Amino acid sequence: MKVVSIVGARPQLVKLGAVAQAFAGTEHHHVVVHTGQHYDPELSDVFFTEFGIPQPDFHLGIGSGSHGAQTGAMLAAIDPILDAEQPDWVLVYGDTNSTIAGALSAVKQHLKVAHLEAGLRSFNRRMPEEHNRVLTDHCADLLLAPTDEALRHLANEGLADRAVNVGDVMVDVCFATRDRILAADRPLAGLPEGIAADEPFLVATLHRAENTDDPERLATLLTALADLPVPVALLAHPRLKAKADQFGLKLDTGAIAVGAPLPYADLVAAVLASTGVVTDSGGLQKEAYLLGRPCTTLRTETEWVETLEDDWNVLVPDPSALGPDAWRTLASRPAPQAPTRTPYGNGRAGAEVVKVLEERLA
Ligand code: UD1
């Protein structure tokens, strides 16, 4: 079986880590196409080294741009590769512009498409990720869902017969990394200056367009983080830096200590060392849950609804209400009980993906 994986943005490279490893022990031919949506080394190269993923077979070097320009450039560049490769499956990941570009190129060439992390919904039609995931699900032949909730969404949209729950590949990577860190008693690396690892601190990220692209909202969010009574390690995505610069907003203020996005193992180690997480990232909400750290999500909704149980994750759409929630483990709100359920699977989703691709091909 020949499978072409199409990836391009940071979270897809983490998921690719699990899938590439599962393919490594088989006779299947796994070809990797990197669109170049993310190109800064800390958002891209670092993951290939860290997870031992072979260098991409094709690197398209597309880079940044408006949604249309970026997606269109990817489509034009993916077309000839798929035409030449003629894979049994094209595998696309998550909900970025690289996902929809890969899916569209494949479906228009009558190649079979599998969507990993299918069925997630925020029901917020203003999010570019929601457009990408809904459109990809509806054009894919095989929907690899990470949870039962995702399966329900797909069934509600008439897609049940193409869908299967394989578990979440992020769990494979998160637990393997956690176990390596705990076994090696690995020192913390890459935390921003001003964060003392043996004192309480929060890990924060902010990059969603709905939070970064409106100057007023971004200013309010930064003020809320700066006013927290505990140091905040803000691992700043380039989009956040670019927007703060453009709007004349300072990131390094009050409780905030600014650092760069971390390699995956350093991020997991930072979350383990932290008191909690404040974020708008889907991946980080789940990682906090899996690692047993309370999370505060700066959005009106989450696709990962399982994390909301027992207040492991609390949605705070209004940044002025951030204080008590983000601080809840240390002050008024009690720490949640450890998660007892495993809604995201058992950490062997990568192997399950390969198995289902084999079965559905037959
Ligand atoms: C993209 C995904 C988002 C995902 C996120 C993970 C889409 C629509 N969005 O958002 O779903 O959660 O990746 O990180 O696909 N930039 C750099 N260096 C880079 C990449 C980007 O400086 O290597 C800057 C540029 O100013 C660029 C901006 O970040 O314009 C946004 O990058 P883009 O890839 O369009 O979207 P993300 O915000 O990264």
Residue 332 has a pLDDT of: 47
**C-alpha of 327 from chain center:** 24
The atom of ligand 1 lying closest to the CA of 65 is 30
Residue 316 has a pLDDT of: 92
- DSSP code of 113? E
Residue 149 has a pLDDT of: 98
CA-CA-CA-CA dihedral for 247, 248, 254, 256, to nearest 10: 60
> What's the whole-model pTM score?
0.95
Which residues of the chain are in CATH 3.40.50.2000 domains? 2-168+345-361, 176-331
The atom of ligand 1 lying closest to the CA of 207 is 38
The one-digit pLDDT tens for each residue of the chain (362 residues) are 999 999 999 999 999 999 999 999 899 999 999 999 999 999 999 999 999 999 999 999 999 999 999 999 999 999 999 999 999 999 999 999 999 999 999 999 999 999 999 999 999 999 999 999 999 999 999 999 999 999 999 999 999 999 999 999 999 999 999 999 999 977 789 999 999 989 999 999 999 999 999 999 999 999 999 999 899 999 999 999 999 999 999 999 999 999 999 999 999 999 999 999 999 999 999 999 999 898 999 999 999 999 998 888 999 998 887 876 666 654 445 555 555 678 999 899 999 999 999 999 98
Does 357 contact ligand 1 (Cβ within 6 A)? no
Whether 16 and 43 have beta carbons less than 8 Å apart is answered as no
Tokens linked to 161:
């017969």
* Strand ranges (E), the chain: 2-7, 29-34, 58-59, 89-93, 113-116, 142-145, 163-165, 202-204, 232-235, 256-259, 276-279, 295-297, 313-315
Sign of CA dihedral 55, 57, 63, 68: negative
The atom of ligand 1 lying closest to the CA of 282 is 12
Does 97 contact ligand 1 (Cβ within 6 A)? yes
Does 34 contact ligand 1 (Cβ within 6 A)? no
Can you name the CATH fold of 2-168+345-361? Rossmann fold (3.40.50)
By alpha-carbon position, which residue is closest to atom 17 of ligand 1?
238
Compute the distance from residue 43 Cα to the ligand 1 centre, in Å: 9
Report d(CA 64, CA 197) in Å as an integer: 35
Strands 58-59 and 29-34 turn out to be parallel
Compute the distance from residue 28 Cα to the ligand 1 centre, in Å: 31
Class of the CATH-defined domain 176-331? alpha beta
Query: What are the φ/ψ torsions at residue 3 (nearest 5 degrees)?
Result: -125, 130
Residue 10 has a pLDDT of: 97
Does 285 contact ligand 1 (Cβ within 6 A)? no
By alpha-carbon position, which residue is closest to atom 33 of ligand 1?
64
